[in-house]
A = this chain, B = another copy of it.
């Protein structure tokens, strides 16, 4: 059994109050006694019982995270980083995997009295997001929604795909590229490109719909070779890597004759030949902001936009 405050008090001959003060580095404790207590605590490996602390305090160290079963790189990275940063900062993260159509109410319910903040990482549908909003009010928790389609009551951290894509396209223009090909089918990518093109009249763009896996990119090789373009933007790094793996055989010289840019900043991209230029998600910034929010309960519910960022490597 772990040592308790009470035992520490008995062992030191001091009152529980003084021991508590000493451990929390309060002023108003004779430094001799403080040292004595701290030494004793170290000796017995004293660790406060957070369940007991949680009972008293309104500030709770537990944070609920609603994740989904998604296993794609960018998503997992967000989850891991958030998880890591929060626990480094001393919070306890309660992760729940919420499969589509799963019961949100039972999740909130199970967190009553434990959790003050719920981070929604799982991409919820319109209806479910609304439900989450209602539940957050019913159960008195603050919602922190990440990258959702609609804003919900609470904090909304939204990811702006446009910025990174615009940077990427400006980079291509500055390299003298003029005939762009966009491979993929993801709505926010296409939208970002269209918006960026408005300010880049020197760039014209063709579209080639396709899936977003490695194999899809590899298959696209010949279609790309057949087109008269000098730059390709892929919806995902995975596709781009698939394409790079066949580009050599097809006689496409990257980046001399053809610039290639992906999206997601997957680790494999940095090791590919040539190193893949890409657009990165604001993973660290999101975790940092969640941390700021949970630390400073006073802030108002609001919306914050996080920009994606172009990472220029060798392939462009």
Contact = CB atoms under 8 A, between A and B. Distances in A.
How many monomers of this protein are in the complex?
2
A245 B215 contact: yes
B97 A94 contact: no
A160 interface: no
A275 B92 CA distance: 42
A149 interface: no
Contact of A114 (B51, B87, B139, B218): B51
Interface string A67-100: 0010101001100100110010010111111010
A50 interface: yes
A1 interface: yes
A93 B92 contact: no
A36 B77 CA distance: 49
Contact of A54 (B51, B109, B246): B51
Interface string A118-149: 00000000000000000000111000000000
The residue among A92, A96, A213, A242 with the most chain B CB atoms within 10 A of its own CB is A92
Interface string A41-81: 00001010111101100000000000001010100110010
A176 interface: no
Contacts of A77: 71
A214 interface: yes
Nearest to A64: B92
A241 interface: yes
A80 B76 contact: no
Contacts of A31: none
A254 to B, nearest CB: 15
Interface of A: 1-2, 45, 47, 49-52, 54-55, 69, 71, 73, 76-77, 80, 83-84, 87, 90, 92-97, 99, 109-110, 112-114, 138-140, 213-215, 218-219, 241-242, 245-246, 268
25 contacts: A1-B140, A2-B112, A45-B139, A47-B113, A49-B55, A49-B112, A50-B113, A51-B51, A51-B54, A51-B55, A51-B113, A52-B55, A69-B80, A71-B73, A71-B76, A71-B77, A80-B97, A83-B95, A83-B97, A84-B99, A87-B96, A92-B110, A92-B114, A95-B95, A214-B215
